[in-house]
Amino acid sequence: MSVRHRRTVRGGAAGAALVAVLAVAAAGCGDDGGDGGDPGPAHRTSAASGENRPAPGADDSTDSPGGPASGAPGEPIGEIKGPDGIVVTLTSAVRVSGGFVTVSGAVANHGSKPYTPLTWRSKETELKSQSSVSGASLVDQAGKKRYLVLRDTDGECLCTTGLVNIRPGESRPVFAQFPAPPSSVTDVDFQLPTMPSVRIKISG
């Protein structure tokens, strides 16, 4: 091999080694201390603009702190505490089509013995519902009017029936439907026989 040929080969090997060194150096400069993996679609850089943009569909929003908003469905609008640990919690009083108001809630037994609220029923002798909240009423104090639970054509109240043997620690849903007061009336007293009354607000 001639001297000139040997120099050409050596020059080519040196050039290849230099390219390899530069490639390693470039890779080292690009290391940001991570694990070297793909940073994920949410942080890839746009080759056209050089901007660091979220990928389509990536969600960069944050949840706002705090609990449910005030007035959420199911939030109590009134509470009645009776004897023997009985608590009636009202969650809604809503105007419905046809000129009615439906009051909903639950009765809970926080006492130590079973409870059957027979005193909550109406005293009407023709009423078929014996264990119910048929004796409930809405009272418009300003208008001096009382609204009783509605009855169907079979003599049953439009309300919860079968309230028998509510065990300690048990809670049962209750409802009652009344004729609606005038639309200008929003605050009424809900009353159950032998229990304290509670002021509630009608919505809708």
Q: Which residue has 């706002």 as its token pair?
A: 64
Tokens coding 111: 């006492």
Tokens coding 147: 């609204």
In the chain, the percentage of residues whose pLDDT exceeds 70 is: 61
* Cα(102)–Cα(119) distance, integer angstroms: 21
Report the first-to-last Cα separation within the chain, whole angstroms. 103
pTM above 0.75, yes or no: no
For the chain, the residue count is 204
* Cα(41)–Cα(54) distance, integer angstroms: 7
Q: What is the pLDDT of residues 145-165, one digit of tens each?
A: 999 999 988 888 999 998 999
Q: Which residue has 């002021």 as its token pair?
A: 199
CATH class, range 78-201:
mainly beta
| Residue ranges per structural domain of the chain | 78-201
H helix or E strand, kind and range, residue 21: helix 3-29
Q: What is the pLDDT of residues 24-82, one digit of tens each?
A: 344 444 444 444 444 443 333 333 333 333 333 333 333 333 333 333 455 899 999 99
* Cα(107)–Cα(109) distance, integer angstroms: 7
DSSP one-letter code for 25: H
